[in-house]
A = this chain, B = another copy of it.
Amino acid sequence: MEFGFTIADQDGEARSGVFHTPHGEVKTPAFMPVGTNASVKAMRPDEVKDLGFEMVLANAYHLALRPGVDVIEEAGGLHSFMHWDGAILTDSGGYQVLSLGKDVRITEEGAKFRASLDGSEVLLEPETSMDQQYRLGADVAMVLDECLPYPSDRERTAASMELTARWAKRCLDSHPGGRQALFGIAQGGTIPELRAESARMTAGLGFDGYGIGGLSVGEPSEVTLAALDASLSELPADKPRYLMGVGDPSGIVEAVSRGVDLFDSVLPTRIARNASAFVSGRRLNLRNASFAHDRGPLAPGCDCYTCRNFSRSYLRHMVMAKEILGLHLLTVHNLFEVSSLMRRARKAIAGGTLSELLDEVRAVEAAE
């Protein structure tokens, strides 16, 4: 077995440790930058590594549509294709299918939808997804799940959660294992009892790790946290726990304090491309005219490439002139912020001071 999860330190419910993969160790809690199309947007892979990231996420759903699983398999898999020798997790596409809204039909069999690129009809079954992800060669595959929109009623949520559990079983049965770990996904909408039940069912099947899915889809943050608590209460402590789609600083630290080990989100890279930067836990939009003459760095005291070398005035100019370099420089800074936050969280857990970091991000959140 090339996988393993070692917990080195604990601080309350929080833990720090190492997730061992065939492509190296991932120090947890860890954030995975999102490389939907086999590229972390606006970044070279070596730059992603230099920022301290050890694992990235790619989307099997997107990659199966374009360039096609065969192209990546021929290249020797995703690592070689995208020139990333660290760990990779692929998501199955449950969340992407949700975004298709009424263009998708979910049946016991799987998810049937029109592929966005050429309009052809695609049936994505749990077995298809396992085959795709195995051939893509990620270190970690995710089961195919159904994600619900928020809000969804109890009946719908319960039925969906049970379908996800049946799909999870089919995934487990068809997954070859070996060089690829498989994570289950606990769903259950925003109803704590159902979250707990879904986590219990998923854990009962026995996966290498557990995603907590379907959160941060529009619900208030206290609802997210209650749902998260319910999920975590039923997930085994000795396996990695991955909160899917959460990437804001306070959301990350709240979840870390509850015992989450892995995160992914498009947030740091997407807001960068929308001219926004994380600065002291807040978001600054560089389009703001007040930055036109601001010769200071984006984030005072920040040691990233962007803050060391460029002024807010220059960054604003890049944004206003629609220069690609602006997208890159803001992405670098936002990823550096997240990477630094994860490093601080690991250090705080080791030192037993995570509550201080939590107080800090809560104070920023309250001041928003």
**A contacts with B, residue count (CB < 8 A):** 37
Q: Which of A61-82 contact B (CB under 8 A)?
A: 62, 66-67, 71, 74-75, 81-82
Known contacts A317-B66, A324-B41, A325-B39, A309 near B83 by CB under 8 Å: yes
Residues on B with beta carbons closer than 8 Å to the beta carbon of A45: 309
Q: Is the CB of A323 within 8 A of B39?
A: yes
User: How many monomers of this chain does the complex have?
Assistant: 2
Q: Map CB proximity to B onto A279-307 as digits: 1 under 8 Å, 0 otherwise.
A: 00000000000001101000000000100
CB distance from A199 to the nearest CB of B (A): 35
A81 to B318, CA, bound (A): 11
Q: Which of A193-209 contact B (CB under 8 A)?
A: none
Residue in chain B with minimal CB distance to A63 = B317
> B43, B325, B326: which contacts A325 (Cβ < 8 A)?
B43
CB distance from A306 to the nearest CB of B (A): 10
A62 to B314, CA, bound (A): 14
Residues on B with beta carbons closer than 8 Å to the beta carbon of A310: 83
Q: Map CB proximity to B onto A38-56 as digits: 1 under 8 Å, 0 otherwise.
A: 1101111100000000000
Asked if A364 is at the interface (CB within 8 A of a chain B CB), the reply is no
Residues of A within 8 A of B (CB): 37-39, 41-45, 62, 66-67, 71, 74-75, 81-83, 292-293, 295, 305, 309-311, 313-314, 316-318, 320-321, 323-328
**15 residue pairs from A and B, CB less than 8 Å apart:** A37-B321, A37-B323, A39-B321, A39-B325, A41-B323, A42-B325, A43-B325, A44-B325, A44-B328, A67-B313, A71-B313, A74-B293, A74-B313, A81-B314, A83-B310
